[in-house]
Amino acid sequence: MDVVEGIKRGDRRALARAISVAEGGGAAPLVSALFKETGRAFTIGITGPPGVGKSTLTGALVTRARKEGKSVGLILVDPSSPFSQGALLGDRIRLSDHFTDPDVFIRSMASRGHLGGIAGATGDAVMLMDAFGKDLVIVETVGVGQSEIEIAEVADTTVVCLQPGSGDSIQVLKAGIMEIADIFVVNKADHPMAGQLRREIRVMMTMLDWQGWAPALVMTQATAGEGVDQLWQALWSHRAYLQESGELRVKRASAFAHEVRNLIVGRLAGAVDGAMAAAAVSGLMEQVADRVLDPYAAAEQIFQRFDPKAPHSPGARLAPRVRATVKGFHKASETETAHHHKMIV
């Protein structure tokens, strides 16, 4: 299957396969071939703690978008099990109204060890859906509690969802999520504490000095579709702001710079693994273990001989010391580990 031609033709199987190739670490030729077709989609990130209603709200947004005739691509990220590398991807359950709509493409994605709240291949998948011609690409992150804020690198507009009665506003303050929110949503507005959370967020917003765009605050009841019109409007207001102020280009340029850096770091990580394996073979690491050589001196020696262009041979990697294995679970495959590398750091 020529997935590039398939994507240009609008073949859904080709798009699906291309995303799998990207997940396997093979995005480079696809992105190279399709990059000129990208940059048109409005990309939206939906993030927030587990169970806040991200999937339900995403479903309601898709319904709204379809009413306007806009096509939608969805990427729904859930965590992989650190033990088995498997994943239970259940966000789709809340999107069943859209399963057979030819203008909606839904892809569940496991984080595969990536820690930023999205998967290593999420950005590539967004690009592929953009090239496919989707008007909107919406990414639902892993249910985050801490500082998983990478979504802001991938999305033009980031929606942070919170729910009443959960101490969410404190979390937000602590975790630095405040800074990535273009729009705050207080979902479950039917909850008696919703008004209080709204006030808390208002107060928090006065504590930061906003330049250009101060986050919008929208109350929703996703299960009833309430507040979704207001959210839709807030999304397009932010979109208009980004375009008129020139911020969109600045934002994307900085995200690309970040991505390019990550790609280089990923390649370097492979070379570092090779150098470490060679150092182990030459007995250098033994010397450290015997306390003959200190870790800084060992690193210096390896660095002086370091060849960043040394081909990455995954077989040469040092396996992390495994302290215990769970019965029946198996280790990460080579490609997953390599992929993991490419993305983290």
**Chain positions contacting ligand GTP, by CB under 6 A:** 50-56, 91, 94, 143, 187-188, 190, 221-223
In terms of CB distance, is 18 or 162 closer to ligand GTP?
162
Q: From the CB of 223, what's the least distance to ligand GTP, in Å?
A: 4
Binder to Mg ion among 23, 91, 168, 273 (CB under 5 A)?
91
Q: Are 61 and 159 in contact (CB under 8 A)?
A: no
Q: Is 55 in the site for Mg ion (CB under 5 A)?
A: yes
Eight-state DSSP code of residue 226: B
Measured from the CB atom, the residue of 90 and 165 that comes closer to other proteins is 90
Residues 126, 75: Cα–Cα separation, whole Å:
8
Q: How far is CA 330 from CA 74, 80, 101, 296, 325, in A?
A: 30, 14, 38, 34, 8
Beta-strand (E) ranges in 135-238? 136-140, 157-162, 183-186, 216-219
- Residue number of the CB closest to ligand GTP reads 143
Residue 99 interacts, among Mg ion, ligand GTP, other proteins, none and using kind-specific CB cut-offs from 5 to 8 Å, with: other proteins
Cα four-point dihedral sign 34, 35, 36, 41: positive
Question: Which of these, 174, 169, 214, 207, lies nearest to 52 by C-alpha position?
Answer: 169
Q: Determine phi and psi for 61, rounding to 5 degrees.
A: -65, -40
Using the CB atoms, write b or e for 255-264: b if 16+ within 10 Å: beeeeeebee
Closest approach, Cβ 21 to other proteins, in A, equals: 7
Nearer to ligand GTP, 95 or 129 (CB): 95
The overall longest dimension of the chain from CA atoms, in Å, is 70
Shortest spacing between CB 141 and Mg ion, in angstroms: 9
CA atoms within 13 A on the CB side of 304: 5
CB 88 within 8 A of CB 78: yes
Given the rule CB under 5 A, which of 84-92, 223-231, 292-300, 317-325 is the region that contacts Mg ion?
84-92
Residue type, 75: I
Q: How far is the CB of 230 from other proteins (least distance, A)?
A: 28
Nearer residue to ligand GTP within complex by CB, 10 or 51:
51
Nearer to other proteins, 299 or 344 (CB): 344
Under rule CB under 5 A, residue 141 binds Mg ion = no
Report whether 176 contacts 147 (CB < 8 A). yes
Residue 66 contact partner, candidates other proteins, Mg ion, ligand GTP, none, CB within 5 to 8 A by sort of partner:
none
Nearest approach in angstroms of CB 215 to ligand GTP is 19
**d(Cα 300, Cα 321) in Å, to the nearest integer?**
23
Kindly indicate which of the ranges 50-58, 196-204, 208-216, 233-241 contains the residues binding Mg ion, using the contact rule CB under 5 A: 50-58
Nearer residue to other proteins within complex by CB, 91 or 273: 91
Q: CB 146 → ligand GTP: shortest distance, Å?
A: 14
**CA–centroid distance for 13 within its chain:** 23
Nearer residue to other proteins within complex by CB, 96 or 243: 96
Q: How far is the CB of 24 from other proteins (least distance, A)?
A: 4
| Distance separating alpha carbons of residues 53 and 162, to the nearest angstrom | 9
- Beta-carbon neighbour count of residue 193 at 10 Å? 14
- Name the minimum Å distance from CB 65 to Mg ion: 18
Residues that bind other proteins (CB under 8 A): 12-13, 15-17, 19-21, 23-26, 28-29, 80-81, 83-90, 92-93, 96, 99-100, 105-108, 110, 112, 328-330, 333, 335-336
Residues that bind Mg ion (CB under 5 A): 54-55, 91
